[in-house]
Amino acid sequence: MEFVSLNKVNTYAPSSRDELIEHAFSHQKILVAINAEKILHATDDSRAIINRNLGYPDGIGAVWALRKKGFSKVHRIPGCELWLDVVLKYYQTKSFYLIGSAQNTIDATIKKLRSEFPGIKICNYRNGYIKSKDEEAELARDIVRHQPDIVFVAMGSPKQELFMMRLQQHHQALYQGLGGSFDVYTETVKRAPTWWLRHNLEWAYRLIKQPFRIKRQIHLIRFFCKLHLNQY
């Protein structure tokens, strides 16, 4: 599977979600969502995290950049959808460990997964509030005990990526960082309606609903300008 360096951030251009999932699974990589912000504000540390793993085009900015580099068929792959693609593909054959969000959210997530994917093997789960090195060490030991095939971590970037890299030192698996995906899945947070999603305008819908995001969305304009000035 090919990738392009965008501001020295390696971003893969999968031909399908299945190709991305299978590549990540076979190489036991951490799936890292890439958007315009992560490319625009990349640091040596963030690049190192992403480039050791598997960055995929979660945001429309990353899609624009990949298309400009010649990958005309690449499509946006939202992380809040991708993890459910992973579950659908493997829930009958693989085991899962889930970490993240508040206790009521992770409880609701587990309940809904067991309802929608009968027979899914969830080894264990816990909330995302890990308050000490001792708690993290106990979690790592529990993961080693259960040997899950797939680990989902919903904590937000870059905290979740750093956390997954530490866990990976204890247990090799497919890892994916999910940010607020459990909240979306349990409908605590509403996604944009279908029309907005279909036209790659989820960012605009969120801006309308949350005008305070304007400071972040300005970065998308900066990114677009730099992209068309061939600065990536």
Distance CA 142, CA 148 (A): 10
CB contact at 8 A, 30 and 153: no
- Strand segments (E) across 115-166: 121-126, 150-154
- Report how far residue 69's alpha carbon sits from residue 151's, in angstroms, rounded to the nearest whole number: 32
Q: To which CATH superfamily is domain 79-189 assigned? A: Response regulator (3.40.50.2300)
Q: What are phi and psi of 59, to 5 degrees?
A: -105, 155
Q: Kindly give, in sequence order, each residue whose CB lies less than 8 Å from that of residue 129, ignoring residues fewer than 6 positions away.
A: 102
Angle between helices 44-52 and 159-168 in degrees, nearest 10: 50
For residue 174, what pLDDT is reported? 96
Task: Encode the chain (232 residues) as per-residue pLDDT tens digits.
Answer: 899 999 999 999 998 999 999 999 999 899 999 998 899 889 999 999 999 999 999 988 899 899 999 999 898 999 999 999 999 999 999 999 999 999 999 999 999 999 999 999 999 999 999 999 999 999 999 999 999 999 999 998 889 999 999 999 999 999 999 999 999 999 988 777 888 777 777 767 776 776 665 666 666 777 777 777 776 7
Strand 9-12 and strand 3-6: the pairing is: antiparallel
H-state helical runs in 28-73: 36-40, 44-52, 60-68
Q: Which two tokens stand for residue 208?
A: 């309308």
Q: What is the pTM of this model?
A: 0.89
Every domain range in the chain assigned CATH 3.40.50.2300: 79-189
Q: How far apart are CA 7 and CA 130, in angstroms?
A: 33
Output the six-digit token pair for 16. 């399908």
d(CA 77, CA 181): 13
Which amino acid does the sequence have at 10? N
User: By C-alpha distance, which of 53, 19, 11 is closest to 36?
Assistant: 11
Report pLDDT for 37.
87
Paired residues of 109 in beta bridges = none
